[in-house]
Amino acid sequence: MDLHGAHDWSAIINGCQPSYEPEDYPEFSRIAYEASPMAFVDGWRSPVLFIHGDDDRNVPFSETVDMAEALSRRGVDFEHLIFPDEVHEFLLHENWIAAYEAALEFLDRKLKAPIS
């Protein structure tokens, strides 16, 4: 399950205030990336459900897109549930319900599947 997840900390902190320029702090940037899920994508094998609002101002929606593309290139199974015009802490109650129902259905389906 990936609910509006941050996947590359070096990219996330680049958008923080005060401003952060990765080239000014290469060691800091390296450590941030190495602490990120994206740094471990080559070993990722488990299926994942991405849930994200495309107007998230805390975690850029591009984080989900980038991780999905990285997993796709590696043949890792993923699904996504995207809420148009929704922010980080979903504003609409119905979207929280839909997210939790999708998570339950995904886990129920994947945990019953034979392990390959």
In tens, the pLDDT along 65-109 reads 999 999 999 999 999 999 999 999 999 999 999 999 999 999 999
Give the pLDDT of residue 7: 94
Q: What is the DSSP letter of 114?
A: P
- Global pTM? 0.85
Residue 17: per-residue pLDDT: 52
Give the Å distances, CA to CA, from 113 to 1, 2, 32, 46, 96: 16, 19, 35, 12, 26
pLDDT at position 23: 73
Structure confidence at residue 12 (pLDDT): 76
Q: Does the domain made of 2-112 have the CATH classification 3.40.50.1820?
A: yes
What is the Cα–Cα distance from 12 to 109, expressed in whole angstroms?
32
Does residue 87 come out as left (phi exceeding 0), alpha (psi in the -120 to 50 range) or beta? beta
The whole-number average pLDDT for the span 17-24 is 65
Instruction: Indicate the length of the chain as a whole number.
Output: 116
